[in-house]
Structure 1
Amino acid sequence: LRFFRSSRCLFWGQYVGGLTMAEPVVLDWPYEGAQPPPFSEPPVGRAGTLIVPGSNYVLDLHGDLSDAGLVVFSDGNHHMALEMACRAFLRSNPAVRDIFYATAPPGPLIAALDEGGLSIGNMSFAVKPNVFIGPSDVMKRLENSGRVGSARPFAKSRGVVLLVRKGNKRRIKAVDDLLREDVRLACSNPDTEKASFRVYSESLSALLNGAGGDGETLVRHMKGEVGPGRRPRIAHSTSIHHREIPTLLASDAADVAPVYHHLALRYVRIFPDIFEFVPLAGGENAREDFVPGPEHIITTYHAAVLEDEAGEWGKKFVEFMETDEVRSIYKFHGLEPVAAG
């Protein structure tokens, strides 16, 4: 994403630390949008489309901006649940027509909020959200700065797991395996995705310390910090780890990656022949009903209307995110609903 009047530009998939990246695998992501697909044929190769995987291929901007009665900016790691929530809101409020929503890390979306628009490659367009969704600390900063109204919590994460390729050929079973010399790690970027990197690094560090290991060494490894003469075994995403990390693993550029449980659940559901994951907590069914221990950093997601840009539907959408229908959607996708009030 690139932003109006800004030199900041984030390019997908260029930085892989000290690892040599194999030919990238283009994952066949399912269509996502508040409205059903506007086509019956597969988009690649269909007349009138410009989709070329690896170049003209946009996954985290959804909907028809010219027709949308509601615009939402949201952090991206719960995109699969947000899609279903947007569809449910449209079913109850057909007058909205469509919802244009962006699912990306908070930093780029805040920059877009400040700059008044987005650019994708050579295409730029003005857009202002009616609703902003993000984790607690991000929403508190936006609230304190007067850019959004009162932020209301509606869901929270269930901790961190280890995503691996199907078959888990490195036999990765626990956090201490991440420091093995034969294991290549992928992780969200410590500079451009600070929120998710903090969750992953602090959770894994605490888990390793609790098992008698050296959590500080693991954090340095996750940052790509190594001693003289040593080559890092880490691949970082550039800006949108919920898309880039599974591509790095599928492309055999890494063996394992820490991700939110709900992200891993999504990956194994839509790509069952490519991925599996290693739970780092208990529960009767640790893969579906993951019960995190105290070492896991839990992220709480909040929604708020823009102070001067709520529009006709912004407030109603924020209220809708607290309903039982949305709680059920988020629970299905591996997140924990936050009780009203």
Structure 2
Amino acid sequence: MPPPVTGVPLIDSPSVLQWPADNPPSLATLAEPTANRSFDFHASIDRCDMVLVSSGNYHMALRELWFDVYLKKYVPGLKNWYYTTSPPLAPALIQSGYLSVDNLAARCRPQVVVGPASEIDALAALGAAEGPRLPLHTSRGNVILVKKGNPKAIRTVWDLGRADIRVVTPNPKTEQGTFANYSGSIYDIAAGDPAPPKGANARQLYNAIFNNGEIKNKWLSGSRIHHREIPWSIAHGQADAGVIFYHLAFYLAQSFPELFEIVPLGGTVDKPQPLPGNRTATLYATRVGGDWNAVQLNAREKLIEAFSSEDFTQILQKYGLRRP
């Protein structure tokens, strides 16, 4: 018989952000912190009554609209649905009719897609979009997200070029639009600064961040979902700072007040007034054409109604967004 175990193991698991869950905790869970997802749930889902595929940078506002407004007021009793909040998936999903999440297969086409104008235009070129696109919301510019206490004393975009500052961005290939927005804001804010640091200019700053071959790990990026990856890198990884949408930073500072702090790029944390060159972004919704049954068609139109509602306008304002 072996002796009693008296030691305590070191849990070999990376530090991950414990994101607020949309559903209440369950006694039965397959959450796996090392991967921050699960490979141990195997299933195939089809015959969905409602599917929304959406850009994810407003996920906090979408969650409240979906659970507190759409499901309760517009389609009570709707059972078979899912929505995604990630970089663009719509064209591939519409063409294949198949979405995989680890070992889960969802074989349902979306009835509604939300994304930037370029993604909606791509759907229209495929002949998938139906009817006019609906402008949903516009961001209120970008800010710099830093660790709590701002230990590197970062105050402006010029500080991002310092040799001791490591900058994290969206992946320039898998999230091209958002990368262009954030990196372009850095350049344009610097270019419009009437009093730049002595001897500095926007091109020099941009090269110091993105084209610096002398400083190892000066520029970092995530792989494909920046609204999860940028805060992780700042909280537990390599980065000191990242330019990010104001509404995302506001949500992060509220959700993890012990981890993050906001450096405004115009105005204040509570009242942003974007500096000249600080770019905004607008998302649009579009219907997807298909041979929908009555339940699916009703769910689609009710979601468009919910997106257009005063309820959603108030939710957007709550999370630092505005109507176009």
TMscore range, shorter length = 0.7 to 0.9
CA RMSD of aligned residues (A): 2.2
Map of 2:123 onto structure 1: 142
Q: Distance in 2 between matches of 1:65 and 1:324?
A: 33
Residue 202 (structure 2) aligns with: 215
Q: Does the Cα contact within 8 Å between 1:140 and 1:151 map onto a contact in 2?
A: no
Shift of 1:233: 0.6
SS in 1 for 2:122: helix
Q: Is the 8 A contact 1:160 1:258 kept in 2?
A: yes
Label 1:185 to 1:126 Cα distance change in 2 as closer, same or farther (>3 A): same
Native 8 Å contact 2:91 2:122 kept in 1: no
Deviations 1:6-29 (A, max 9, x none): xxxxxxxxxxxxxxxxx8421111
Change in CA separation of 1:220 and 1:307 when aligned onto 2, cut-off 3 Å: farther
Deviations 1:59-85 (A, max 9, x none): xxxxx9668531100001001101111
- Cα shift at 1:293: 3.4
Q: Tell me how far apart the structure 2 counterparts of residues 113 and 293 of structure 1 sit (CA, whole Å).
A: 39
Please, which moves more after superposition, 300-309 or 138-147?
Answer: 138-147
217 and 190 in structure 1: CA distance in 2 versus 1, 3 angstrom threshold? farther
| Letter of the 2:308 counterpart | E
Kindly indicate whether residue 101 of structure 2 is the aligned counterpart of residue 123 of structure 1: no
Aligned pair 1:280/2:265, yes or no? yes
1:293 aligned partner, one-letter code: L
Q: 8 Å contact 2:140–2:320 — kept in the other structure?
A: yes
Q: 1:51-70 counterparts in 2 under 5 A?
A: 51-55=31-35, 57=37, 69-70=49-50
The offset of 1:222, in angstroms, is 4.8
- The 3 A distance-change label for structure 1 pair 70 and 289 is farther
User: Alignment partner of 2:258: what SS?
Assistant: coil
Match of 1:248 in 2: 233
- Structure 1 255/56 Cα, relative in aligned 2: closer, same or farther at 3 Å? closer
Counterpart position of 1:270: 255
d(CA) in 1 for partners of 2:215, 2:183: 21
Secondary structure at the residue paired with 2:274? Answer: coil
Deviating more after overlay: 121-130 vs 187-196: 121-130
Any idea what SS the aligned residue of 1:95 has? coil
Match of 1:281, as an amino acid?
G
Tell me if the contact between 1:161 and 1:280 (Cα under 8 Å) persists in the aligned partners: yes
**Distance of aligned partners of 1:67 and 1:147 in 2 relative to their CA distance in 1, 3 Å threshold:** closer
Give the drift of 1:116: 1.8
Q: Which residue of 2 aligns with 1:194?
A: 176
Distance across 2 between alignment mates of 1:263 and 1:56: 20
Retained in 2: the 8 A contact 1:25–1:250?
A: no
Aligned amino acid, residue 116 of structure 1:
G
Asked if the contact 2:189–2:276 (Cα under 8 Å) also holds between the matched residues in 1, the reply is no
Structure 1-normalised TM-score? 0.80
Aligned residues with identical type, % of pairs: 32
1:96 correspondence with 2:78: yes
- 1:27 is matched with which residue: 13, 17, 25? 17
Q: What runs of 5+ residues in structure 2 fail to find an aligned partner?
A: 1-12, 39-43
Describe the shift of the 1:221–1:232 C-alpha distance in structure 2 as closer, same or farther (beyond 3 A).
Answer: farther
Q: Distance in 2 between matches of 1:53 and 1:324?
A: 38
SS for the counterpart of 2:163 is coil
Q: Confirm or deny: 8 A CA contact 1:128 1:309 kept in the other structure.
A: no
2:77 is paired with a residue of what secondary structure? helix
Matched position secondary structure for 1:245: helix
The alpha carbon displacement at 1:117 in A equals 1.3
1:14 corresponds in structure 2 to none
Q: Residue 148 of structure 1: CA displacement?
A: 1.1
What are the within-5 Å matches in structure 2 for residues 1-341 of structure 1? Answer: 24-32=14-22, 37=23, 42-43=25-26, 46=27, 48-55=28-35, 57=37, 69-87=49-67, 88-92=69-73, 93-97=75-79, 99-106=81-88, 108-149=89-130, 150-211=132-193, 212=196, 213-223=200-210, 225-227=211-213, 229-282=214-267, 286-308=268-290, 311-312=296-297, 313-338=299-324
Amino acid at match of 1:77: N
Q: Using the alignment, how far apart are the partners of 1:300 and 1:162 within structure 2?
A: 20
Q: Give the CA deviation at 1:247.
A: 0.7
**TM-score normalized by structure 2?**
0.84
Query: Which structure has the larger Rg over C-alpha atoms?
Result: 2
1:336 aligns to what SS in structure 2? coil
Query: In the aligned structure 1, how far is the partner of 2:204 from the partner of 2:287?
Result: 41
Asked whether the 8 Å contact 2:52–2:83 carries over to 1, the reply is yes
